[in-house]
Structure 1
Amino acid sequence: MPRAVREQQMMDAAVQTFGQRGYRAASMDEIAELAGVSKPLVYLYLNSKEELFTACIRREAKALVDAVRAGAEPGLPADRQLWSGLRAFFTHTAEHPDGWAVLHRQARTHGEPFADEVTAMRDEIVAFVTELIGAAAREAHHDPALPDRDVAGLAQALVGAAESLAGWANETPGVSAKEAAATLMNFSWAGLENLMNGRPWQPPDPSAGRARGGSAR
């Protein structure tokens, strides 16, 4: 069997084992058995357990980013691009639950160097969503009032919500990728649309409430 195919089998087995058992509980013996190879062969191809886990993170991160970018169809209005990108995100995380568990749960909880790998992936997705929100603001009006910092904050919030929702959707029977994407669009886009059209939500003015209370007395 060609080396590349054998490595792919071992990586598939590693992602499944790490995703379901966790990094610390997973053993190279389990991975080798699941892949149908000897443990020395796993070490020969993929070196240490740490390096194998890092390789799994990089592979799953690249696959997720590629899926999101491929899903967001260029040339569409910004809301349609965001919708298609979110559907691609939730479809990928639903179809690869072990890979998502590796990225969202395992890599983040075991410190460096694993957390850095996930941060790099997240930064790429956030940058992509930032572009979409900025494009939507430009579509709404030629001189957008949204400062760059606000756009960046909205992108961070949207990606964070997508990450949490993907974990919930994978653990909740009957929730499809389309439903998860629609939930997030309903939660986010109405607010974004108001903001981009100059109708931001404002916190209530405490002094106004006190004034009304005083006049009532």
Structure 2
Amino acid sequence: MPRAVREQQMMDAAVRTFGQRGYRAASMDEIAELAGVSKPLVYLYLNSKDELFTACIRREAQALLAAVQAGAEPGLPADRQLWSGLRAFFTHTAENPDGWAVLYRQARTHGEPFATEVGVMRDEIVAFVTGLIGAAAREAHHDPALPDRDVAGLAQALVGAAESLAGWANETPGVSAKEAAATLMNFSWAGLENLMHGRSWQPRGQAAGRAR
């Protein structure tokens, strides 16, 4: 069997084991048995448990990012791009629950260098969403009123909500990717649309401007 195919089998087994058992509890013996290979072969190909886990994070992060970017159809209005991107995100996390568990639960809670690997992917997704929100502001009016810092903050909030909602959807029977995406669109887009048209929320009795 070609080395690339064998490595793919071992990575599949590792993602499943790490996702279901957790990084600390997962053993190289379990991974080798699930992959149908010897433990020395796993070490020969992937060196160590840390390096294997890092390789799993990178593979799953790249797959998720590619799915989101491919899902958001260019040329559509910004809200339609965001909708299709969210559907792609929730579809991918639902179809790859072990990979999402590796990214969202395991990598973030076991320190460096794992958290940095996930951070790189997250930064790319935030940048992508920032571009969509900025495009929506430009569609609303040619001289956007939203400062760059506000756009960046909205993107961070939206991505954080998507991450949390994906974890909940994967653990809640009967919640489809479409339903999860619709929940987040209903939660976020009405507010975003108001902001695009200069209708920002303010505490009662406070003049227009940044809320404090």
TM-score strictly above 0.5: yes
| Residue 202 of structure 2: aligned partner | 202
TM superposition shift of 1:180: 0.1
In 2: Cα distance, 1:64 partner to 1:58 partner: 10
In 1: Cα distance, 2:62 partner to 2:11 partner: 14
Distance 1:210 1:25, change over 3 A: closer
Tell me, what secondary structure is at the counterpart of 2:24? Answer: coil
Corresponding pairs, count: 212
TM superposition shift of 1:142: 0.3
TM superposition shift of 1:82: 0.1
In 2: Cα distance, 1:93 partner to 1:75 partner: 25
The C-alpha deviation readout for 1:57-79, integer Å capped at 9, x for no partner, is: 00000000000000000000000
TM superposition shift of 1:204: 2.1
In 2: Cα distance, 1:47 partner to 1:129 partner: 36
In 2: Cα distance, 1:205 partner to 1:172 partner: 41
In 1: Cα distance, 2:210 partner to 2:21 partner: 56
In 1: Cα distance, 2:28 partner to 2:4 partner: 19
In 2: Cα distance, 1:206 partner to 1:147 partner: 20
TM superposition shift of 1:203: 1.5
Q: Give TM-score, length-normalised by structure 1.
A: 0.95
Q: Write the mapping of 1:30-179 to structure 2, written as runs, cut at 5 A.
A: 30-179=30-179
TM superposition shift of 1:205: 3.0
Identity of aligned residues (%): 92
Which blocks of at least 5 consecutive residues in structure 2 are unaligned? none
TM superposition shift of 1:207: 11
Contact 2:72 2:81 in 1 (8 A): yes
The C-alpha deviation readout for 1:114-141, integer Å capped at 9, x for no partner, is: 0000000000000000000000000000
Distance 1:36 1:76, change over 3 A: same
TM superposition shift of 1:87: 0.2
Tell me, what secondary structure is at the counterpart of 1:207? Answer: coil
Which blocks of at least 5 consecutive residues in structure 1 are unaligned? 212-216
Tell me, what secondary structure is at the counterpart of 1:5? Answer: helix
In 2: Cα distance, 1:76 partner to 1:160 partner: 24
Contact 2:202 2:208 in 1 (8 A): no
Contact 2:17 2:30 in 1 (8 A): yes
Contact 2:67 2:92 in 1 (8 A): yes
Distance 1:189 1:13, change over 3 A: same
The C-alpha deviation readout for 1:5-24, integer Å capped at 9, x for no partner, is: 00000000000000000000
